[in-house]
């Protein structure tokens, strides 16, 4: 039976309140509506990797036959995200990779393609990642309604936690929400037109079409993870589909925001956190038509060890204090010089170092056993030559040896916390993120996250950073 | 180990240009100022005939060894040496080797750099690789602070006292850049650069050049009656402390290793009592603090007591950075090691004016640079 074997999600810890976006003071207790915002070192790739790492916990990475990456905000127009992510996740060399793009439906389309591939027998396990990080023009309603985040699913044919029960899609041509190659910000036509002529008719047709294909089971508990750009249109859609309130997965408006191609998948991940065996799940997304998939939770769902899902991430938050901070973090602020667009960072160095930089591989000396980083020819400890085995450091725990707080380098929120971190004896120079300067001390236990380092050469350059080990992970 | 270098080579002339933000001077201008002062100091009025070869040290050189030979119109064997902050000391070492090997009689050593043509007040933030952090030298050298403070109970105030001392000494050196005393409160209250380094914990960025003329010991007195003898000179490489699995972040290995070698060459067993004056690399105050210990001027962990009691102040047991060091002169990387030789030669000849260390007979100079990964040490003796 083809189904979902595991899931994971990621929401950036950074939140910005609607009041802050509008330039008004936040409530003292930060209780107002807000959205999740990817910070300066995050984007679709880093969020997608984080969701995938949560999804793959406890699963053999070598068992992944393909990875599909869905987003409307791939960092490159020409150059694949899925292949980059396959390297970062240290997947097999012969893994299949493809990007799904260009539509808010990309996430559910990728999920459907994965289900089809597994059902057809061309792959046994497919990792599906949906991640989005869209930009609304500063001050616009879209800037407020958007959110950033990612979900990941492992689709396979053995012991699924939820099996696929059917799918239905309709295609439509409508210029309602778009971004051309030249645009930095998403455009939207008049809201009532988008809802009345685009969103509602397409989603209603897709969902009704799907339900018509399924065996009638009105008495069975059902939960629907529905895409809609905002709270009002979401309520209209649920009403039109005659769904009772308890059948609608909380769309998290005012907490997460509309995460684009990742939105319906993230709501599905949230629904899976709570699903009981036998419960029917429905996920539907909109964009140039609409698409709906049905799943049925199995008894296996009770055996899956707890995932880091949407609720885990929503519980972890840090408020941004000003709109200006947000603009700087998203590269929208004015700066004295534009980043250099020249060749910049050497592509050949990037190529040679990709095992270390992307897969975070260190090495263990076969002579003395010392673990070291980066990959080098002569052992740092016993001077043996070319006798090492590679070791993936990203899974291991680390410990801060020493640190400094760098106020000199321009970042949206100085200082930059810089550490020397010990990973099984290897010493690695790493930034520490997701914490405050006064929380850093030698001996601090850390885990590792994949983040953007800099834009030298006019393109994103990714590497790993340390973050405090979450409580309960010791 | 092969035959010792000790006392085979002597310094017979030394010169130093005015260090500072030399907006109106090119590297050539500063090289000419330093070299011609060294010629005059050595009594050389015909450098074309008397100088056999040139060793030059620079990190930011735009034109390679030609920059120096073209400035001086010395069409001779010219070598450009580059070794981080140890560049000046390393150029000197290579020059000393060439004479000790019997290849040349008299050699000019010039260290210089011109960082102030780059349009930034601090050091460049270098990023060549994907995993390069937004990192600066302050960030590299600060990495010993958290660990050292925790183990030995020192703090920012101990560092600030070093800045106060060096600022004060700098007012006594005619060629220094900063000639202003500061208070402990000013040092502690300045804006943060890289914790625990505030602005006053960091050396300034300046332009500068310095030069020495060295010759065979047996020829030295034909230049002037008071040559200064080269007792020892060494340069050591160490592992990158950021990835060295054995690093305790309490000291810098290159200094420890270079000091052992230099003291062996010079026959020194108790550096604190045998050395009379020292110029120690103070790119950051903590670098000077750790170097007191790494150079054996005091026990490990005891630096703060010596800082408090003034052991390393002018008039103390072993005055360090009598001219104000990198703190007051700034740090034109290639020039610094040679500028330290200039100060030590003046001290050993009794020509250091109000900052003179009484009866100085043995002087040490020290640089450490890179991550830090390179250390140079020179020990000079009065003759």
Q: How confident is the model at residue A337 (pLDDT cuts 50, 70, 90)?
A: low
Tell me how many degrees the CA angle B252-B258-B264 measures, rounded to the nearest 5: 140
Asked if B131 and B292 touch (Cβ cutoff 8 Å), the reply is: no
Tell me how many degrees the CA angle A82-A83-A89 measures, rounded to the nearest 5: 85
Is residue B331 among the annotated active site residues? Answer: yes
Q: How confident is the model at residue A334 (pLDDT cuts 50, 70, 90)?
A: confident
Verify whether the Cβ–Cβ distance B130 to A453 is below 8 Å. Answer: yes
Catalytic option among B16, B17, B68, B85: B85
Verify whether the Cβ–Cβ distance B131 to A357 is below 8 Å. Answer: yes
Query: Which segments of B22-82 are extended strands (E)?
Result: 53-57, 78-81
Distance CA B358, CA B199 (A): 33
Q: Is pLDDT of A474 > 90? A: no
Verify whether the Cβ–Cβ distance B195 to A405 is below 8 Å. Answer: yes
Question: Two tokens at B248?
Answer: 């305790």
Asked if B198 and B235 touch (Cβ cutoff 8 Å), the reply is: no
Distance CA A151, CA A9 (A): 4
% of residues, chain A, pLDDT over 90 = 84
Instruction: List, for residues A88-133, the tens digit of each pLDDT value.
Output: 999 999 999 999 999 999 999 999 999 999 999 999 999 999 999 9
The more confidently predicted of residues A383 and A473 is A383
* Cis peptide bond prior to B222, omega within 30° of 0: no
Q: Which residues of A touch B132 (CB under 8 A)?
A: 453-454
Beta bridge partners of A284: A226, A292
Contacts of A245 (CB under 8 A, 6+ apart): A238
Verify whether the Cβ–Cβ distance B150 to A442 is below 8 Å. Answer: yes
Q: Tell me the domains of chain A and their CATH numbers.
A: 3-329 (3.40.47.10), 347-468 (no CATH)
Verify whether the Cβ–Cβ distance A442 to B192 is below 8 Å. Answer: no
Pick from B194, B242, B246: which is nearest to A408 by CB?
A: B194
Pick from A373, A456, A463: which is nearest to B243 by CB?
A: A373
Distance CA B149, CA B151 (A): 6
Distance CA B287, CA A316 (A): 40
Q: Tell me the domains of chain B and their CATH numbers.
A: 1-119+135-383 (3.40.47.10)
Q: Which of A427, A436, A456, A466 to mutate to test the interface with B (most CBs of B within 10 A)?
A: A427
Please name the residue of chain B whose CA is at the shortest distance from the CA of residue A375.
Answer: B243
**pTM of the predicted model as reported, rounded to 2 decimal places:** 0.91
What does the pLDDT read at residue B311? 98
DSSP for B292-352, written as a single string: HHHTTSS-TT-HHHHHHHTTTSTTSSS-B-TT-HHHHH---HHHHHHHHHHHHHHHHTT--
Distance from CA of A407 to the nearest CA of B (A): 5
Distance CA A117, CA A68 (A): 11
What does the pLDDT read at residue A349? 81
What does the pLDDT read at residue B130? 76
% of residues, chain A, pLDDT over 70 = 96
Pick from B135, B245, B249: which is nearest to A372 by CB?
A: B245
Q: What is the mean pLDDT of residues A60-71?
A: 98
Distance CA B103, CA B107 (A): 10
What does the pLDDT read at residue A77? 94
What does the pLDDT read at residue A344? 61
What does the pLDDT read at residue B1? 55
Q: Which residues of B touch A350 (CB under 8 A)?
A: 130
Distance CA A293, CA A166 (A): 6
Q: Is pLDDT of A142 > 80? A: yes
B120 interfacial to chain A (CB closer than 8 Å): no
The more confidently predicted of residues A337 and A413 is A413
- Positions of chain B with pLDDT under 50: none
CA A358 to chain centre: 17
What does the pLDDT read at residue A359? 97
Instruction: List, for residues A221-260, the tens digit of each pLDDT value.
Output: 689 999 999 999 999 999 999 999 999 999 999 999 999 9
Instruction: List, for residues A355-407, the tens digit of each pLDDT value.
Output: 999 999 999 999 999 999 999 999 999 999 999 999 999 999 999 999 999 99
Q: What's the Cα-to-Cα distance from A332 to each of A42, A138, A319, rounded to whole Å?
A: 15, 8, 19
Distance from CA of B253 to the nearest CA of A (A): 14
Distance CA B238, CA B84 (A): 13
């Amino acid at each position: 039976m083809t189904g979902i074997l595991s899931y994971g999600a990621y929401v950036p810890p950074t939140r910005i309140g609607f009041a802050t976006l509008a330039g008004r003071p936040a409530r003292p207790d930060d209780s107002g509506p807000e959205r999740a915002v990817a910070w300066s070192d995050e984007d679709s790739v880093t969020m997608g990797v984080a969701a995938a790492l949560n999804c793959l916990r406890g699963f053999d990475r070598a068992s992944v036959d393909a990875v599909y990456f869905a987003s409307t905000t791939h960092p490159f127009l020409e150059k694949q995200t899925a292949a980059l992510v396959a390297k970062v996740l240290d997947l097999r060399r012969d893994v299949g990779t493809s990007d799904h793009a260009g539509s808010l439906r990309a996430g559910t389309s990728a999920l459907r393609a994965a289900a089809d591939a597994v059902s057809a027998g061309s792959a046994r396990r497919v990792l599906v990642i949906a991640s989005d990080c869209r930009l609304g023009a500063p001050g616009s309603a879209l800037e407020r309604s958007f959110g950033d985040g990612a979900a990941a699913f492992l689709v396979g044919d053995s012991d699924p936690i939820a099996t696929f029960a059917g799918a239905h899609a309709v295609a439509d041509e409508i210029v309602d929400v778009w971004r051309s190659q030249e645009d930095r910000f998403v455009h939207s036509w008049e809201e009532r037109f988008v809802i009345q002529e685009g969103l509602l008719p397409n989603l209603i047709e897709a969902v009704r079409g799907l339900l018509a294909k399924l065996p009638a089971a009105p008495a069975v508990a059902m939960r629907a993870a529905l895409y809609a750009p905002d709270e009002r249109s979401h309520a209209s859609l649920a009403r039109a589909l005659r769904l009772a309130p308890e059948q609608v997965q909380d769309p998290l408006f005012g907490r997460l925001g509309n995460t684009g191609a990742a939105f319906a998948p993230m709501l599905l991940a949230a629904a899976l956190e709570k699903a009981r065996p036998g419960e029917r799940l429905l996920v539907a997304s909109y964009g140039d038509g609409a698409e709906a998939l049905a799943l049925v939770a199995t008894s296996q769902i009770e055996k899956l060890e707890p995932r880091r899902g949407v609720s885990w991430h929503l519980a972890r938050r840090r408020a941004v204090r000003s709109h200006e901070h947000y603009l700087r973090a998203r590269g929208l602020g004015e700066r004295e010089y534009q980043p250099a667009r020249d060749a910049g960072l050497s592509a050949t160095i990037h190529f040679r170092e990709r095992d270390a930089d992307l897969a975070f591989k260190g090495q263990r000396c076969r002579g003395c056993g010392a673990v070291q980083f980066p990959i080098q020819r002569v052992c740092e400890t016993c001077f043996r030559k070319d006798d090492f085995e590679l070791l993936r450091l990203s899974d291991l725990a680390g410990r801060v040896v020493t640190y400094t707080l760098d106020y000199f380098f321009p970042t949206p929120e100085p200082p930059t916390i810089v550490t020397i971190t010990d990973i099984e004896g290897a010493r690695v120079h790493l930034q520490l993120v997701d914490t405050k300067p006064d929380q850093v001390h030698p001996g601090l236990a850390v885990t590792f996250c994949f983040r953007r380092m800099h834009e030298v050469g006019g393109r994103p350059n990714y590497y790993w950073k340390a973050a405090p080990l979450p409580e309960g992970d010791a | 180990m092969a035959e010792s270098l000790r006392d085979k080579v002597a310094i017979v002339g030394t010169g130093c240009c005015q260090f500072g933000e030399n907006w109106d001077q090119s590297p050539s201008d500063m090289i000419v100022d330093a070299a011609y002062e060294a010629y005059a100091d050595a009594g050389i009025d015909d450098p074309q005939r008397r100088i056999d070869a040139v060793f030059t040290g620079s990190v930011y050189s735009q034109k390679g060894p030609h920059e120096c030979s073209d400035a001086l119109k010395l069409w001779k064997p010219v070598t450009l040496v580059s070794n981080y902050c140890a560049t000046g000391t390393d150029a000197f070492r290579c020059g000393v080797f060439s004479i000790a090997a019997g290849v040349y009689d008299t050699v000019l050593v010039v260290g210089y750099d011109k960082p102030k043509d780059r349009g930034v007040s601090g050091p460049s933030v270098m990023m060549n690789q994907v995993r390069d952090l937004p990192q600066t030298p302050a960030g590299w050298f600060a990495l010993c602070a958290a660990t050292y403070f925790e183990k030995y109970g020192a703090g920012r105030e101990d560092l600030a006292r070093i800045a106060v001392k060096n600022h004060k000494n700098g007012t006594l050196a005619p060629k220094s850049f900063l000639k202003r005393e500061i208070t402990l409160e000013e040092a502690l209250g300045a804006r943060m650069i890289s914790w625990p380094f505030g602005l006053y914990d960091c050396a300034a960025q300046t332009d500068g050049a310095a030069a020495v003329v060295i010759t065979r010991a047996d020829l030295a007195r034909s230049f002037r009656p008071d040559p200064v003898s080269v007792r020892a000179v060494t340069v050591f490489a160490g592992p990158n402390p950021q990835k060295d699995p054995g690093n305790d972040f309490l000291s810098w290995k290159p200094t420890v290793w270079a000091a052992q070698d230099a003291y062996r060459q010079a026959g020194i067993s108790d550096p604190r009592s045998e050395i009379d004056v020292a110029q120690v690399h103070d790119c950051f105050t903590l670098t000077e603090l750790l170097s007191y210990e790494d150079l054996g001027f005091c026990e490990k962990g005891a630096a703060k007591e010596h800082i408090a009691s003034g052991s390393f102040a002018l008039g103390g047991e072993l005055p360090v950075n009598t001219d104000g060091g990198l703190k007051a002169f700034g740090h034109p990387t290639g020039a610094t090691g040679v500028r330290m030789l200039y100060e030590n030669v003046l001290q050993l000849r009794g020509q250091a004016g109000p900052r003179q260390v009484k009866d100085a007979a043995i002087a040490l100079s020290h640089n450490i640079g890179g991550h830090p990964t390179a250390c140079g040490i020179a020990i000079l003796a009065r003759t």
